[in-house]
Amino acid sequence: MPAADPGAVSTGVDFVEVRVNGGAWALATGTDSWTAQVDLTLGGNLIEARAQDGWGNPSTVDRVTVAYVLSGNDPPTAAFVATPVAGTVATVFSFDASASSDPQDPVSVLETRWDFEDDGVFDTAWSTAKVATRQFTVPATTAVRLEVRDSGGLLGTTVRTVWVNDTPPTARFTAAPTEGDLSTLFTFDASASTDLEDGGAGLQVRWDFDGDGSWDTVLNTARQATHRFLAAGTYSVRLEVGDSGGLTAVAALAVVATAPAPGTPASRPTDVVATPVNHTAVVRWSPPTSQGSAPVTGYRIYRGGESGNLTLVAETFGSLTYTDGDVIPGDTYRYAIAAVNTAGEGLPSAPVEVVMPSCCEPPTDRSVPFDVLPWILALLLGIALVAVFLWRRRGTKREAS
């Protein structure tokens, strides 16, 4: 756009000014013919020019719109935020790529995909959604990768770190009984202990039965432990559980062990028999002939293999039978029973032996139980009587006709 001063008394053009997009006016080079260099932004730009003559009279403002478009395509810039940045395997992490940008495309057009462990394998398909969620199954420091694609197929990528932290286990146990004496075998059960990552089964367990701060068992995965106290007292039994990440927790429970009351224990239980029943060994016995100085409160079941020592496997409180499901077909087991009263444990019975049938033998007892036989005989007799009665009635009718 040339400049001119067409008035009757012309002074000529004094200067020309230019501005872009409503910015500050800048002096152009030249007058009637002029040039100016300006900075454009991407997209449409409004360029305005005005002149002034020697009298100080301004011209009208002339305008032109210029579009500034890049000749090539530029890659997008990937950016995202993670919420939260630290959690556990129970946390649902949210990743928001809305802060990604592109010189040509609006963010809504940009496509995203995610590699949640940065293992080189993308875990989502391309999508224009900007937010993704993820729950991690293993505690770890994890790099999350975002890749962004613009409408021209150019890529941008970035990585952020999130922390999936291990949580300590919870130690819990029960004691049975919680009060006994020096002959009592206390059973402790840590089955209720849990861990968010490992569950209960993955935990290691150890025990300090007398609460003296020194562990009395090594770490192992058995949930149950038994202990008999050597001196009367109240003991703070301690359990420690450890998870696979090395985190631990401790629980304590008080049990009381009293000295046995003075008196005489019961004599040996009698009539002890052991029989195989449906892949278990069932042991039955009768009370001892002498209960000693106090009533019998329970029985202790000792078990051993074909040879060697018998060890305590269970205690009943009144029941005269014990079913052992922890047996192997074909193996031989020996059982002995001891009665317990407040004076302690009496002598055990002589061991009885049972040979478990091997796996594919038919059940040993198929005979009809003796006490059912009279009923079967009575039923057969009844059927016979009804048959005779009917036969005789038909004979009577035939004679009458």
Which residues of the chain form contacts with Ca ion (CB under 5 A)? Answer: 73-74, 102, 104, 115, 117, 119, 121, 123, 150, 166-167, 195, 197, 208, 210, 212, 214, 216, 243
The nearer residue to Ca ion, 64 or 219, going by C-beta atoms, is 219
Q: In the complex, what is the shortest distance from the CB of residue 246 to Ca ion, in angstroms, rounded to a whole number?
A: 9
Structure tokens at 154: 């150019």
Name the minimum Å distance from CB 218 to Ca ion. 12
Cβ proximity to Ca ion, 107 vs 313, nearer residue: 107
Closest approach of Cβ 178 to Ca ion, in Å?
18
The 3-class secondary structure across the chain, one letter per residue, is: CCCCCCCCCCCCEEEEEEEECCCCCEECEECCCEECCCCCCCEEEEEEEEEEECCCCECCCEEEEEEECCCCCCCCECCCEEECCEECCCCEEEEECCCCECCCCCCCCCEEEEECCCCCCCCCCCECCCEEEEECCCCEEEEEEEEEECCCCCEEEEEEEEEECCCCCECCCEEECCEEECCCCEEEECCCCECCCCCCCCCEEEEECCCCCCCCCCCECCCEEEECCCCCEEEEEEEEEECCCCCEEEEEEEEEEECCCCCCCCCCCEEEEEEEECCEEEEEEECCCCCCCCCCCEEEEEEECCCCCCEEEEEECCCCEEEECCCCCCCEEEEEEEEEECCEECCCCCCEEEECCCCCCCCCCCCCCHHHHHHHHHHHHHHHHHHHHHHHHHHHHHHHC
Least distance to Ca ion, CB of residue 328, Å: 34
The residues near 6 (Cβ < 8 Å, ≥ 6 apart) are none
Nearer to Ca ion, 159 or 384 (CB): 159
Which lies closer to Ca ion via its Cβ, residue 62 or residue 212? 212
Q: For 275-279, which contacts have Cβ atoms below 8 Å and span 24 or more sequence positions?
A: 275/354, 276/327, 276/354, 276/355, 276/356, 276/357, 276/364, 277/323, 278/363, 279/325, 279/327, 279/329, 279/356
- Nearest residue (CB) to Ca ion, 17 versus 102: 102
What would the two tokens of residue 396 be?
């009577």
Please, which residue, 5 or 102, has the CB nearer to Ca ion? 102
Q: Nearest approach, Cβ of 39 to Ca ion (angstroms)?
A: 21
Please state the closest distance from residue 361 (CB atom) to Ca ion, in A: 47
Nearer residue to Ca ion within complex by CB, 217 or 297: 217
Q: Which of 73, 83 has the CB closer to Ca ion? A: 73
Residue 344 Cβ vs Ca ion, minimum distance, rounded to whole Å: 24
Alpha-carbon distance of 51 to 37, in angstroms, equals 16
Other CB atoms within 10 A of residue 47 CB = 17
- State the minimum distance, in angstroms, from the CB of residue 114 to Ca ion: 8
CB of 311 to Ca ion, least distance (A): 21
Which of 62/119 has CB closer to Ca ion? Answer: 119
Other CB atoms within 10 Å distance of the CB of residue 213 = 7
Closer Cβ to Ca ion, 111 or 150, answer by number: 150
Q: With respect to Ca ion, which residue has the nearer C-beta, 181 or 210?
A: 210
Distance in Å, CB of 312 to Ca ion, minimum: 21
Report the nearest approach of Ca ion to the CB of residue 244 (Å): 7
